[in-house]
Amino acid sequence: MSRSLKVAFYPAINANPILERFLSSLRAILIRIGVNVITYEEALRQGDRRYVGKGIVLIAPGEGEPGNLAIDHVGNLADNTVIGIYYGEPPANGSRFQKRIDVLVSALVWHMVHILIYVDDESWTICNMNGAIDTFSLAQLEDRVLHSLIPKIAAPVVPPQRTDFAIERNAFDPWLPQYKAGIHDMLAGSMLWGRAGLLADQTRLDELPYRNHKYKHIAAAYLSCRTGMSYGFLSRQLPLALTPAIELRDAHRMLQGLDWEQQDFIEIDDHMLVAAKLGNRRFALRVPEVTVLCTRSGCDKTRLDPARDLVTLTLSKGRIILGLARGLPEGSDCQPSFDTLIILAHAVGNAILASILARIKPDSKFALALMQQGLGIAHWHGFIDATSLPTGYYLHGYDNPPVSCSTPQAAIYALMGKFTALQKSIAEGTEYIGDAHIEPSHGTNMCGSSITDLATLVSGM
């Protein structure tokens, strides 16, 4: 990750001696661990002399002045990451979750940065858009730069834009019978999650403090004109018809002759096939189209309105389709979750695992649940201990780099972790029920039979 980065230091404005020492140490560490550190002048030369080149990370110390912030020299917030470094205490560290989120988002838009770093005489704290606030001693600087800061820079939070998806209006009617059980589960579950204090209320973007209208406009464009932000998600993977996986040794000769080592997937007769390895056994299976019913970005997840706050996300042959509810007025703020990639990664992973289980254990409760009523997938900003999970649930991910669940890297970790969990289940001879995917410095994604079951399980820990 460090070798993939190109970093420049924005000229310091109002930096004090403690910040200067920190910046000097940080620069030396970045160079030592393989980051390409260039001068600010070179960063401008790689752009158009007004804006720095695409992909360059700007590290900006001090409060700065409106009109001459680092953000004023970035062409597109989605193409460059800006890190602000300040002297003093981090905002609301140690406060209850809701207040911490509100203060953190306010600080991010006031300074117009993606990541905040606060430095004092003994410690430094990293805060970023995924709600994480991590404090380390200055004695840990090099280790934590490599293992905590670098992953957050290399895998930045980039809000999904509507242009990233195919949008289907009137895609579903939340009042039709086929959605009744799933929506009832989401409504009942959201109340339980809210009561447990595990989900944040909406932070309205138009109520945040901006230095001027220009910066408010920049933030709105970056967030694709969302009206608010809220953290965590609730989703319900819809039932699907599964085709049991085939062991490669028993497969048709054509499948055995394909080079499964050199390709991520193979298309045959318009079907996407993948090979999965579990222990000494290899399976070929068709990746099905998956659909989840999901909370929209920025809604109040503890008080859901099915007609306004739910969308469908469908992954079909590598294409994401955002489905809007029937009758939703034009111009409504109904956009996909920041965490779309991780939601769909868990849904695809569930389908792949269920396909394998349908082959090796035809009475698998997990596979039958997915086929008959679907599954619950939830994310919250908290953690659980493996010893507190019921038998059949498996924890994974605690050793992964601390990337946000909005990133492609997190989606890959989710899939890898699910295979590890299934393999452990088979080795132990335990019925596989679901998984808890830990994202260090961020939170947990959990899959199980329903949103209400997951809420009951988590709130009782």
Domain boundaries of the chain, sorted by first residue: 2-154, 162-242+288-459
Residue 257 confidence class, pLDDT cut points 50, 70, 90: low
HSE-up of residue 117 (Cα within 13 Å, Cβ side): 27
pLDDT for the residue 442: 86
> What average pLDDT does the segment 166-174 reach?
91
Q: Does the structure show a pLDDT above 90 at 23? A: yes
First to last CA, the chain: 35
Closest residue by Cα to residue 452 from 200, 201, 183: 183
pLDDT for the residue 391: 93
Alpha-carbon dihedral 41, 42, 45, 48, rounded to 10 degrees: -70
Q: What is the mean pLDDT of the chain?
A: 88
C-alpha pair distances (Å), 3 with each of 33, 334, 353: 8, 38, 34
pLDDT for the residue 75: 85
pLDDT in tens, 186-228: 999 988 888 887 777 777 888 888 999 999 998 888 877 777 7
Fold (CATH) for 2-154: Rossmann fold (3.40.50)
pTM of the predicted model as reported, rounded to 2 decimal places: 0.92
pLDDT for the residue 299: 84
Q: Does the structure show a pLDDT above 90 at 294? A: yes
Min mean pLDDT across 86-100, 338-352, 403-417 is at: 86-100
* Secondary element (H or E) of residue 107: helix 97-111
Fold (CATH) for 162-242+288-459: L-fuculose-1-phosphate Aldolase (3.40.225)
CA distance 460 to 199: 15
Sign of CA dihedral 26, 32, 35, 38: positive
Higher pLDDT, 382 or 371: 371
Alpha-carbon dihedral 61, 67, 70, 74, rounded to 10 degrees: 180
Burial 204-227 (b: 16+ CB within 10 A, else e): ebeebebbeeebbebbbebbbebb
Here the tokens at position 413 are 């970790």
Residue type, 427: A
pLDDT for the residue 262: 66
Q: Nearest 5°: phi and psi at 122?
A: -125, -20
pLDDT for the residue 302: 84
pLDDT in tens, 116-133: 999 999 999 999 887 788
Angular region, 21: left φ>0, alpha ψ -120 to 50, beta rest:
alpha
pLDDT for the residue 89: 85
pLDDT for the residue 15: 66
Q: Nearest 5°: phi and psi at 15?
A: -85, 140
Angular region, 318: left φ>0, alpha ψ -120 to 50, beta rest:
left
